Structure 1
Amino acid sequence: MDQPAISDYGFLSDCRSGALVGRDGSIDWWCPDRFDAPSVFGRILGPQAGHWLLAPVAAGRAGHRVERSYRPDTLVLRTVHHTPEGSVAVTDALAAELGARGHELGRNSPAVLLRVVEGLSGRVPMVLDFCPRPDYGLLTPYLHDQPDGGVLAACGSVTLTLRGDGLPLRAGRDRVRHEFAVSAGDVVGFDLAYGPAYGDPPARLDPAVALAETVQAWEAYRESHHYPGEYADLVRHSATVLTGLTYTRSGAVAAALTTSLPEELGGNRNYDYRLSWLRDFAMTLRAFWVAACPYEASRLFAWVARSIGQVGQMPVPVMFGLAGERDLSEHELAHLPGYAGSRPVVVGNDAWRQRQLDVPGEVILAIWQLGDYLGTSFDKELREMVLGLAEQVATTWHLPDRGMWEAREEERHYLSSKVLCWAAMDKAVALAPRLGESADPRRWAAVRDEIRATVLREGWNDRVGAYTASFGSAELGGSALYLPVVRFLPATDPRMRATIEAVERELGTPDGLVRRWADEPAAFLLCSFWLVECLVMAGERERARRLFERVVEHANDVGLLSEQIDPRDGAQLGNTPQALSHVGLINAAWRLTAPTAE
């Protein structure tokens, strides 16, 4: 593969959008307007889609070594390059608004990339290669020298202004290339500001001042969060990553920063995850609560009630755009070859059209889990949402659907979907006192019991000796590990215990991770963390702990997890950073912390 590994990338965020910066010093992904907007740097999906390199001239050659770390509790990334000529640090960040602190982060983001170079020893030759390509590489901008020594790039709907401290940059035909050297003690800052073509001009920030402000904004965000459990550093960092995937203006959480990074190299299972799923909402909500982030939890509730709107006869939407958009129709970017030649590259996600019956249950379960926080009575919007979701489950649970993994073949009666329908009815009964006179707990309880009996009867396969992925199927599925997590069955139940063992045996990889399906080539990190939880609840805490520590070893050098892991070489696969992988880490760490199995 002639491009960086997925794990080579670090994540920057201003809670409006995010960027990926490689170990080689190249920013290969940035969609500056918001997470799901068109990119101006997209080289991770094709060499023609733009990048911004800032690194030693000797980068990648013999004698070059890289060390990276985040400033604690931030997404400000410091990369130290050790070269034969000396050492230099490059600190990268997406700027916070000046004066922003804590929960204000991202509300009025200036959309400015900051890069500050600091000489540590010797005298290191550096190179800057600025090659913007807006609209996923479809456009090549005009470049114009500016009186202050900067360069303006303008094309289509995008305006970018690049400036360097005391360095007169000069526009080439389609890029800016500049070489300079830094000695010990030298500091050179760069800022790249985005603005719409026909709006206000891009912001102008002092890189060193803006960087210090950004660090303080992130640190203030985490000062009020005090996670009391084990693996505190991992949990706090995963919570920071989830915060970085949050679009502050609405409260929505993007499932991942990227689109179309493949589940299998050269394969076609490539999807746009820069959108917000209701299922992810529910799981992320619990993770934020575990990680002691109550403000984030309340913001997610506000987003979900407004996004869903009034629940009627149509299937509950499974996903939305970050500002609540409903139509997320998928289209291919045919001009891009994809990561490691993995086509198609897509924008949008046609799963928005699917029926996924587990989604109402995920939402109601999350509301029940945080019921004490929400008070003894719900406001009108929340009350009507729960009532609408419960009634829809009561009338549709018996239908087939596409399941939680969003299968694109025919609908089936997926085990996990039915179990979450049971959870919806079970928790709706528990919430009935807060739902007013329209609540129907007696009917809901009857439906709940019918669903449970159906799952126990139809979900078990005597020949396989396990609960299988769908009714009437002999195929095992990693989603069966979710049953104890949502308390449908205890992990110690004989049939559930047999299912856990069968999933470990048939879907496990050599290092103990879990795939979703037998024919899936890569392990799925969320399912692997579910196995950790199941083992704790089955009374095998030490084995669970060992597995947890093996799974988290697959994080990259700055603690980021993608969607999947290639069992052949441990390489990360899929979109990155993946929210649900970090959610799984947080919840598994908390399960290991709990004094007794739940």
Structure 2
Amino acid sequence: MSSRPIGDYALLSDCRSAALVSTEGSVDWLCLPRFDSPAVFGRLLDEAAGHWTIRPCGTSRVTRRYVPESLVLETTFHTPSGTVMLLDALAMGHRERGHALGASSPGVLLRRITCTSGSVAVETSFAPRPEFGLVHPVLSAVRGGLSAYGGAQRLVLSTPLPLRIDGSTARGETVLKAGKRIEFALSSLPAWGDAEPDPWPGGRINHRLNDTVKGWRSWTRIHQGYQGPWRDEVAHSGRVLQGLSFTPTGAIVAAATTSLPESIGADRNWDYRYTWVRDASFTLQALSTSACEKEKATYFGFLAQAAATQLERGANLQVIYGIGGERDLSERTLPHLSGWRGSTPVRTGNDAWRQHQLDVYGELLDAAHQTHPRTEWFAPPTRSFLLQAAETAARRWREPDQGIWELRGPSRHFLYSKLMCWVALDRAIDLAPALGATPTQVTAWRHTRQHIRRAIEDEGWNPHLGAFTQAFGSSELDASALMLPLVGFLPGDDPRIRTTVAAIASKLTDARGHVRRYLRDDFASEEGAFLLCTFWLAHALALIDEVPRAREVFETALSCANEVGLLAEEISPTTGEALGNYPQAFSHIGLINAARAIGHAERARRNS
């Protein structure tokens, strides 16, 4: 059973896959060659599922940071005899710069430990366990390192350090004096090919580490359009979103991990290494704030292509896709893994792909609305697809569904789902010329949009609570009602919005100031507060012109980031520690969008 705090980890990315590195210099999560591949190192979910540690022998004090303007990790170990610095990165393609970042990443993990003062004994423990720990590979010495055979992959570890092999684990120690360093590289090959190992000499590793830093910095420097409050945090969150992007398609994973629980010991452990249509409009707003215009277009193109043919044959629009556009994400459990802090089952795949969620039509059309110039027509396939999405939202908005939180129970008439059907028609009306919509279609959309508005205002409003609620006729609050002003359904100065925001702030906020999604089922009392919802509250407070309070809530959420600026999905209401899959794209998206909204509100105040 793994018990290390989730917030103890830092993210590495090559815009194709991800690794998580602990403060002890241990890579406890690495999936190759894609985010959704089986883990090579999986100690995050079970102590026996593999790791690769490089660290000083004995005790040390640790500080760490990302090399400025990058996702290259620098961990410094302070020991009684001296100091060593460990540099970790997933290599980018040679001389990849700017928008090309990740286009030809080789899938190689680079590590270098350098003694910066004194003399320090260091050790490494290399225990690959491919396929989530099912494979214990055969290790053998090769020129310039060692090779690991087993399963579908052949791993090659390049290093000049002599290693002792003990079964499927290799270990080594040495003493480094000031100015001395050791380089490591881990690459993979198909297990059944004729390719020979290609050891990476130290010079090549150093060159690619430096080149990877330059690649990240070049990406950062063309994405510096945001000038509002929390500029550094917004820029870093933009890099995290880029780090969670799968460059070959433009997809963005919800998180780098699977099965980190929403509630410790419960069974709400899902695989987040896929892309959700639900996230689309929020993601595109965040990318726009971070000046990621090319990334916006690529991401929308991926969503449109992945979903395009489903509406043509009358199927439900899927809510989640694989990062290569895959549709069948059937769930299975991995019973040999004990889970993080005993939270089982550990799952791969995600059966949310089978759910019916009406909000996806609004999120797609809002995404199109954010990315497409009004004066240009969409390409014919995309135009046809978006027209079908608008027509489907108009036809099906009265149906019940599973809602934004993908509740695995009976379908209901969730307010958020109706709201996003309203968004679908609202954006389609504005896009009508680009869509080639007929006057008859636009008239029908306007009529249905008004019907949806009346239904939300009449059936979604609870006069006894003085708030919009989770579902029609419900007395349960839900943080997703904060989206009413965020998508422009009602203005911030509407009294119903003000009282809804006040009710959520009062009833769904825990003692630490973080906002829960809802309080309606047996799990909700145990699960953590959602950082996205906390940022939504800050965003909504800015829209209702409660700017000092918005700043306070924003800072409360921001304080949940670890020392390298990463945010989890949830925060435990009792301990304040990170919960859920990590790092969570939605949390960083919420940060970016709330910061922008607060900045706009502050400028409006100054100019009034």
Shared fold, TM over 0.5: yes
> What residue in structure 2 maps to residue 281 of structure 1?
280
Alignment of 1:275-424 (within 5 A): 275-310=274-309, 311-312=311-312, 313-372=314-373, 375-424=375-424
> What residue in structure 1 maps to residue 78 of structure 2?
82
Match of 1:155 among 144, 150, 155: 150
Which runs of 5 or more residues in structure 1 are unaligned? none
C-alpha spacing 1:210/1:565, structure 2 compared with 1 (3 Å)? same
d(CA) in 2 for partners of 1:505, 1:135: 46
Q: Point out the more displaced range, 401-410 or 362-371.
A: 362-371
Match of 1:572 among 566, 571, 578: 578
Match of 2:109 among 93, 109, 113: 113
Q: Point out the more displaced range, 519-528 or 567-576.
A: 519-528
d(CA) in 2 for partners of 1:555, 1:301: 28
d(CA) in 2 for partners of 1:244, 1:203: 26
C-alpha displacement of 1:309: 1.6
8 Å contact from structure 1 (residues 414, 470) kept in 2? yes
C-alpha spacing 1:375/1:188, structure 2 compared with 1 (3 Å)? farther
Q: Which one-letter code corresponds to 1:142 in the other structure?
A: V
8 Å contact from structure 2 (residues 89, 109) kept in 1? yes
Q: Deviations over 1:370-429 (max 9, x none)?
A: 343x75222112211210100110111000000011010110000000011111111111
C-alpha displacement of 1:203: 5.0
d(CA) in 2 for partners of 1:147, 1:390: 60
SS in 2 for 1:12: strand
8 Å contact from structure 2 (residues 66, 73) kept in 1? yes
d(CA) in 2 for partners of 1:2, 1:36: 21
C-alpha displacement of 1:262: 0.5
> What residue in structure 2 maps to residue 503 of structure 1?
504
C-alpha displacement of 1:506: 0.9
8 Å contact from structure 2 (residues 82, 120) kept in 1? yes
Q: Which one-letter code corresponds to 2:340 in the other structure?
A: Y
> What residue in structure 1 maps to residue 57 of structure 2?
57
Match of 1:98 among 79, 94, 100: 94
SS in 1 for 2:16: coil
> What residue in structure 1 maps to residue 170 of structure 2?
176
C-alpha displacement of 1:107: 1.6
C-alpha displacement of 1:78: 0.1
C-alpha displacement of 1:18: 0.3
**Alignment RMSD, CA only?**
1.5
SS in 1 for 2:449: helix
8 Å contact from structure 2 (residues 76, 85) kept in 1? yes
d(CA) in 2 for partners of 1:433, 1:147: 64
SS in 2 for 1:176: strand
Q: Which one-letter code corresponds to 2:151 in the other structure?
A: G
d(CA) in 2 for partners of 1:83, 1:3: 25
SS in 1 for 2:590: helix
8 Å contact from structure 1 (residues 253, 281) kept in 2? no
SS in 1 for 2:48: helix
SS in 1 for 2:65: strand
C-alpha displacement of 1:463: 2.6
Alignment of 1:430-441 (within 5 A): 430-438=430-438, 440-441=441-442
> What residue in structure 2 maps to residue 262 of structure 1?
261
8 Å contact from structure 2 (residues 2, 340) kept in 1? no
* Pairing 1:126–2:134 present: no
C-alpha displacement of 1:567: 2.1
SS in 2 for 1:550: helix
Q: Deviations over 1:521-569 (max 9, x none)?
A: 3110111111011111111111111211121011000000010011222
> What residue in structure 1 maps to residue 473 of structure 2?
472
* Pairing 1:66–2:62 present: yes
C-alpha displacement of 1:204: 4.0
C-alpha displacement of 1:511: 2.8
Q: Which one-letter code corresponds to 1:22 in the other structure?
A: S
8 Å contact from structure 2 (residues 2, 46) kept in 1? no
TM-score, length basis structure 2? 0.95
Q: Point out the more displaced range, 28-37 or 489-498.
A: 489-498
d(CA) in 1 for partners of 2:284, 2:72: 24
d(CA) in 2 for partners of 1:470, 1:387: 27
d(CA) in 1 for partners of 2:509, 2:212: 42
The percent of aligned pairs where both chains have the same amino acid is 46
> What residue in structure 2 maps to residue 584 of structure 1?
590
> What residue in structure 2 maps to residue 194 of structure 1?
188
d(CA) in 1 for partners of 2:448, 2:197: 57
> What residue in structure 1 maps to residue 214 of structure 2?
216
d(CA) in 2 for partners of 1:66, 1:391: 57
d(CA) in 1 for partners of 2:158, 2:541: 54
C-alpha displacement of 1:250: 0.7
d(CA) in 2 for partners of 1:204, 1:418: 56
Q: Which one-letter code corresponds to 1:109 in the other structure?
A: S
Match of 2:142 among 139, 146, 150: 146
d(CA) in 1 for partners of 2:434, 2:99: 29
Q: Which one-letter code corresponds to 1:216 in the other structure?
A: K
Q: Point out the more displaced range, 7-16 or 227-236.
A: 227-236
Aligned positions, number:
591
d(CA) in 2 for partners of 1:433, 1:386: 13
Which runs of 5 or more residues in structure 2 are unaligned? none
Alignment of 1:16-27 (within 5 A): 16-27=16-27
C-alpha displacement of 1:484: 0.7
C-alpha displacement of 1:169: 2.7
SS in 2 for 1:548: helix
> What residue in structure 2 maps to residue 596 of structure 1?
604
d(CA) in 1 for partners of 2:199, 2:254: 31
* Pairing 1:542–2:542 present: no
d(CA) in 1 for partners of 2:172, 2:280: 44
C-alpha displacement of 1:93: 0.3
C-alpha displacement of 1:461: 1.5
d(CA) in 1 for partners of 2:288, 2:525: 32
Q: Which one-letter code corresponds to 2:468 in the other structure?
A: Y
Q: Which one-letter code corresponds to 1:491 in the other structure?
A: G
SS in 2 for 1:241: helix
8 Å contact from structure 1 (residues 110, 203) kept in 2? no
d(CA) in 2 for partners of 1:293, 1:72: 19
* Pairing 1:457–2:458 present: yes
8 Å contact from structure 2 (residues 2, 47) kept in 1? no
